[in-house]
Amino acid sequence: MSLHRMSLRRFGLSILLAAMTAATTLVSLPAAAHGERATEPYIRTRTVHWYDVTWSSEKIGVNDKVTVEGKFHLFTDWPDAASKPELAFLSNASPGAVMTRVESYINDMPAQQSVRQLEIGRDYPFKMVMAGRVPGRWHLHPVLNVHGAGPIVGPGHWVEVTGSAADYKLPVTTMTGEVIDDLQHYGVARVQWWQAGYALLAVAWIVWWIRRPLIVPRWNAIRKGREDLLITRTDDRVAAGLLVLVLVVVIGGYRYTTQKYEYVVPLQAGSFKTKPLPQVPSLVAVEMKDATYDVPGRSLRLDVEITNQSESPMRLGEFTTANLRFLDKSLDVAVAGVDPSFPKDLVAGSSLKLSDSSPIAPGEKRTLRIEATDAAWEIERLVSFLTNVDSRVGGMLFFFDAKGQRHMAEVFGPIVPVFTQLQLAQSH
Amino acid sequence: MTENDRAILKVSELSSRAIPWSRTLDVLIIVVAAFLVWSVSHISFLLLGGDWDFFIDWKDRQYWILIIPITTIIMAASFQAIFWNLFRLPVGATASLLLLLLGTWIVRYHSWQGLAYFPLSLVVPGTCLMGALVLDAILVLSRSWLVTGMFGAVLYGLLFYPANWIYMAGYFQPVMNMGDMTSVADLIGYTFPRAGTPEYIRIIERGTLRTFGDTPTWVSAFFSAFVCIFLYYMFWGLGVLACNARFFPVGERFKLIYGNKGKAAGKAVGAAAAQPGAAS
Amino acid sequence: MHNRTGCSWRRSTLITCSAVLGLTLSQGAGAHGGLSVDDDMCKLRLGPFNMHFTGYQPEINGNREFCEDIPKVGNTIVVMDAIEPELREIPIEVRIIRDTGDESQLDAVTVVHLPPKIYVSGSVPLEYSFTTPGKFVGLVTAGAQGQYVSRFPFSVGIPPKRYGFYLLLLGVVVLGLGMYRYSGMKRQRQMAGQT
């Protein structure tokens, strides 16, 4: 091939590459979601377990409300690398202020501030009411920000906000009686007018100086020692006048403002404490004997010893960790336990496999092999056990008794990644 | 053109042909310098003071009042030193703060509101512009960096709070939210969620600063004024170092065009510029 | 050349101004009788005893507290707290009268009267809605024979003369003039140095 043609090809190729790069940066990507996959697996599987989370609607208009409520359990085997929840804040994950927070509660305590000393091993109900503000399709998750551990994200559900952003308004009345038409724009005009006034003074001052011969003439004049020409008596007068004007404006404005807004409060920095849900005596004792993750098989296998300490036969219905739910689809009450509004992509397609799915009799101690198989382990980036410093896994087991009542138990322990074939496992 | 302007041009010994070119150079340098001052001031503020002035619910009575003046006086003092020493232009502080304010508002509209959907009431900025005007005015009247640092920097620190309280006071009215009393600023911060900023991250007054009376505001303002003095002197010195002519070699042809008589004159330029504080 | 007499004239003006400033800003000692701000606390002197005096106007001013004059007309709550324990054992009587200059017929000018009573909790509350601005006198009597008396005149709804603000403005103008003058003096020195 001639040199000329080769360089043409190379040229064409580089144009194509440039165009592709430009295209990927200019074309907006679909709405942001699933950022929680960046959080380390040991945080997502062993800190906050969210359950019974419901979203009151999937589609709301601007100004309409959607309620996210549920519970979270603080895992006993909290990882060393993450700080204990001494200070936390209930929030939501959304790209900026596309939805506004109307109310939030942790066990009925208003959660505007941060919450102190949440107890490990206990459960807390939460509730968040959000209002639509910017039209679009947004992934709405509850989040518990833990000081020193970071945001621990709950399950997310797509909520569509319809309407026009201009319709959003938030009127508020202060305790001093001032009526604010819309909190979004409150006080902005006043700030801008005053700062424009300040800027006008500044521009006038700068123009007063730069209207003269500037760089070289002044430079030369300094060399010749003729500074008296550069700063004249008139300049002194203007500067003195400016000094007095600025001080008078600020002092006068400040006095006027303090008389107008006599009753002001500082930013509220306190935090609150809330009680967990009453502790339920654990009727099922669970101990993990062995845990492996079959890397190519995408299957988490747990060998657990379960002791039924209740008076009713128990069946294992669900294993959940990091917002993923694995159900024993043969157990109707377990399947019914999934709220219809719960996002489908967080419920594993295949059923939870148990080595013995017969009910565990009262008093019986049984060793069970539990297999949770789904591509979700990889998609959700939960299986970096090979590169973790803390190779332990955690999760919640939901048992159901004869009456259909649910009993929860934690399961945790070290985990080893293995590379066996799925067929070998099935023959186990 | 005033008589004073004519006198300056006469003293500078520019030929009549060079004078309009000198004005062209002025305009070019103003434009370039404006962008330089703007970007340096803006970046330095983002790095040093950023969070405290981004959000309305970070504007507390202790840290906001302290941090904003001391982080902005750094650039104000440096640019004051440069413009004063090179050209006896007392516009460095004003230019720095004015351009910072302009840049801040552009970012508020484009990025905070445009990209992140934050309402403007959440992100209204404060400004030290009034203090900068006072700083420049005192520099003209005293023609001394020592006096400007002593009185100007103090006023700079003290003026921040009253000058901004004029339009921020309304945000601190009490309001009820979920049965608790809170400020309008806190309510705005709560209502419009910021995904990455949990409430506990705020470094605001915790009420542990014992004061005379109810509020630490003026204690903080006076402390800010005190720190401003030292930072002013430190960064005035840095500004002086930055405009040492040794670092800006000027071509011979350039000098000839603008009336400097070649190499001998060039040496004199370097020598004169090396004693910038001589007149003070 | 400097005008020596001019310089010293300006200096003495400055000193006089500061003295006046100092005097007006300091609290008038006898202006409010037995009630004054002492050690950051509003104290009512009752013979050898003291009471902590606090005024509130919750509908108008939220939780702001007042000592001496009441800023606006309206519902006002006053609470006096006994500092010494002895005050909890002796009867205390409170009376607020209109300041007519004549205190011979107290009942005729009384607007609020709390008859003598022993306040075991040490806290004496009273509430009254002032409808018109005016000058009043508070009379607190303690002791079985009413031997301890505190008399304090106060005003309601009469905005106090605040000299501080205007003096501050004056100070600003003086500062501006002073710096202008300093600049001129520096110029003259420089010119003298050059010649």
Tens-place pLDDT, residues C33-45: 677 776 667 888 8
Alpha-helical (H) ranges within A90-226 are: 188-210, 215-223
Are the C-beta atoms of residues B123 and A192 closer than 8 Å to each other? Answer: no
Label residues A149-161 b or e (16+ Cβ within 10 Å = b): bbbbbbbbbebeb
Of chain B residues 220-239, which have a CB less than 8 A from chain A? none
Instruction: Single out the residue of A380, A230, A223 nearest to residue A298, CA to CA.
Output: A380
Start-to-end Cα distance in chain A: 61
Of chain A residues 118-147, which have a CB less than 8 A from chain B? 133-134, 145, 147
The structural domains of chain B, with segments of one domain joined by +, span 3-9+17-242
Model confidence at B274, pLDDT cuts 50, 70, 90, reads: very low
Which residues span the domain enclosing A244? 188-264
Are residues A308 and A242 located together in one domain of the fold?
no
Compute the distance between CA of residue A52 and CA of residue A127 in angstroms, rounded to an integer. Answer: 11
Of chain B residues 203-222, which have a CB less than 8 A from chain A? 204-207, 215
Are residues A192 and A260 located together in one domain of the fold?
yes
Which residues does chain A have within 8 Å of residue C179's beta carbon, measured at their own beta carbons? 240, 243
Q: Which residues pair with B54 in a beta bridge?
A: none
Searching chain B, which residue's CA lies closest to the CA of residue C65? B214
Which residues does chain C have within 8 Å of residue A253's beta carbon, measured at their own beta carbons? none
The verdict on a CB contact (< 8 Å) between C179 and B143 is no
Are residues A292 and A259 located together in one domain of the fold?
no
The structural domains of chain C, with segments of one domain joined by +, span 2-26+162-194, 35-156
Residue A30 has pLDDT above 50, yes or no: no
> What pLDDT, on a 0 to 100 scale, did the predictor assign at position C100?
84
Touching check for C166 and chain B: CB below 8 Å?
Answer: no
Residue A347 has pLDDT above 70, yes or no: yes
Touching check for B147 and chain A: CB below 8 Å?
Answer: no
Are the C-beta atoms of residues B80 and B41 closer than 8 Å to each other? Answer: no
> What pLDDT, on a 0 to 100 scale, did the predictor assign at position B264?
47
Model confidence at C32, pLDDT cuts 50, 70, 90, reads: low
Number of Cβ atoms within 10 Å of the Cβ of B120: 20
Cβ partners under 8 Å of residue B147, min gap 6: B138
> What pLDDT, on a 0 to 100 scale, did the predictor assign at position B13?
84
Structure tokens at C82: 């006994």
Which residues does chain A have within 8 Å of residue B194's beta carbon, measured at their own beta carbons? 96-97
Q: Which residues pair with A94 in a beta bridge?
A: none
> What pLDDT, on a 0 to 100 scale, did the predictor assign at position C83?
87
Are the C-beta atoms of residues A124 and A278 closer than 8 Å to each other? Answer: no
Give me the residue label for tokens 């009471």: C51
Question: Angle between the C163-194 and A233-260 helix axes, to the nearest 10 degrees?
Answer: 160
Q: A255: distance to nearest CA of chain B, Å? A: 8
Are residues A97 and A216 located together in one domain of the fold?
no
Instruction: Single out the residue of A72, A34, A44 nearest to residue A321, CA to CA.
Output: A44
Task: Check which CATH number belongs to the domain holding A133 and give it.
Answer: 2.60.120.570
Residue A10 lies in a domain: no
Nearest to B178 among A112, A151, A232 (CB): A112
Compute the distance between CA of residue B167 and CA of residue A190 in angstroms, rounded to an integer. Answer: 6
* A interface test, pick of C56, C65, C163, C172 with most A CB neighbours within 10 Å: C172
Residue A271 lies in a domain: no
pTM of the predicted protein model: 0.83
Query: B173-185, pLDDT tens digit by residue?
Result: 999 999 999 999 9
> What pLDDT, on a 0 to 100 scale, did the predictor assign at position A103?
96
Q: A207: distance to nearest CA of chain B, Å? A: 10
Compute the distance between CA of residue A158 and CA of residue A165 in angstroms, rounded to an integer. Answer: 18
Touching check for A379 and chain C: CB below 8 Å?
Answer: no
Q: What is the mean pLDDT of residues B61-66?
A: 94
Structure tokens at B77: 């003092």
Q: A395: distance to nearest CA of chain B, Å? A: 26
Are the C-beta atoms of residues A318 and A294 closer than 8 Å to each other? Answer: no
Number of Cβ atoms within 10 Å of the Cβ of A275: 12
Residue B255 has pLDDT above 60, yes or no: yes
Instruction: Single out the residue of A352, A377, A351, A370 nearest to residue A411, CA to CA.
Output: A370
Residue C159 has pLDDT above 90, yes or no: no
Write down which residue in A170, A198, A226 finishes a domain: A170
Searching chain A, which residue's CA lies closest to the CA of residue B88? A230
> What pLDDT, on a 0 to 100 scale, did the predictor assign at position A298?
87
Give me the residue label for tokens 């930072």: B231
Are residues A339 and A417 located together in one domain of the fold?
yes
Segment holding B104, helix H or strand E: helix B92-107
Searching chain C, which residue's CA lies closest to the CA of residue B211? C40
Start-to-end Cα distance in chain B: 28
Model confidence at B249, pLDDT cuts 50, 70, 90, reads: low
> What pLDDT, on a 0 to 100 scale, did the predictor assign at position B159?
97
Structure tokens at B48: 């040093």
Are the C-beta atoms of residues A165 and A184 closer than 8 Å to each other? Answer: no
Question: For chain B, how long is the longest CA-to-CA vector?
Answer: 79
Are the C-beta atoms of residues A390 and A337 closer than 8 Å to each other? Answer: no
Instruction: Single out the residue of B118, B108, B126 nearest to residue B59, CA to CA.
Output: B126
Instruction: Single out the residue of A133, A135, A140 nearest to residue A182, CA to CA.
Output: A133
DSSP structure string for A228-267: HHHS-HHHHHHHHHHHHHHHHHHHHHHHHHHHH-----PP
Residue C29 has pLDDT above 70, yes or no: no
Query: B14-30, pLDDT tens digit by residue?
Result: 888 888 889 999 999 99
User: φ and ψ at C114, to 5 degrees?
Assistant: -110, 110
Touching check for A213 and chain B: CB below 8 Å?
Answer: yes
Rg (CA), chain C: 25
Nearest to C169 among A240, A248, A262 (CB): A248
Q: Which of B53-57, C58-62, C135-139 has the lowest mean pLDDT?
A: C58-62
Of chain A residues 176-215, which have a CB less than 8 A from chain C? 176
Give me the residue label for tokens 């003039």: C177
More confident residue, A424 or C54: C54
Write down which residue in A104, A136, A170 finishes a domain: A170
Q: Which of A192-201, A237-246, B2-11, B211-220 has the lowest mean pLDDT?
A: B211-220
Are residues A49 and A125 located together in one domain of the fold?
yes
The verdict on a CB contact (< 8 Å) between A228 and C190 is yes
Q: What angle do CA A190, A194, A199 make, to 5 degrees?
A: 145
Residue A390 lies in a domain: yes
Q: A182: distance to nearest CA of chain C, Å? A: 24
> What pLDDT, on a 0 to 100 scale, did the predictor assign at position A4?
55
Which residues does chain B have within 8 Å of residue C40's beta carbon, measured at their own beta carbons? 212-213
Residue A24 has pLDDT above 50, yes or no: no
Say which CATH architecture domain B3-9+17-242 belongs to. Up-down Bundle (1.20)
Q: What is the mean pLDDT of residues A329-351?
A: 91
Query: C71-116, pLDDT tens digit by residue?
Result: 888 888 888 888 888 888 999 999 988 888 777 888 888 888 999 9
Compute the distance between CA of residue A186 and CA of residue A362 in angstroms, rounded to an integer. Answer: 63
The verdict on a CB contact (< 8 Å) between B192 and A257 is no
Searching chain C, which residue's CA lies closest to the CA of residue A255? C165
Query: B124-139, pLDDT tens digit by residue?
Result: 999 999 999 999 999 9
Residue A270 has pLDDT above 70, yes or no: yes
Compute the distance between CA of residue B31 and CA of residue B209 in angstroms, rounded to an integer. Answer: 46
**pLDDT cut 70: percent of chain A above it:** 89
Compute the distance between CA of residue C18 and CA of residue A13 in angstroms, rounded to an integer. Answer: 82
> What pLDDT, on a 0 to 100 scale, did the predictor assign at position B269?
47
Number of domains in chain A: 3
Are the C-beta atoms of residues B150 and A216 closer than 8 Å to each other? Answer: no
Nearest to C182 among B142, B174, B213 (CB): B142
The CATH homologous superfamily of the domain defined by C35-156: Macroglobulin (MG2) domain (2.60.40.1930)
The verdict on a CB contact (< 8 Å) between C183 and B174 is no
Q: Which of A51-65, B68-82, B155-169, C159-173 has the lowest mean pLDDT?
A: C159-173
* C interface test, pick of A233, A244, A245 with most C CB neighbours within 10 Å: A244
Residue A145 lies in a domain: yes
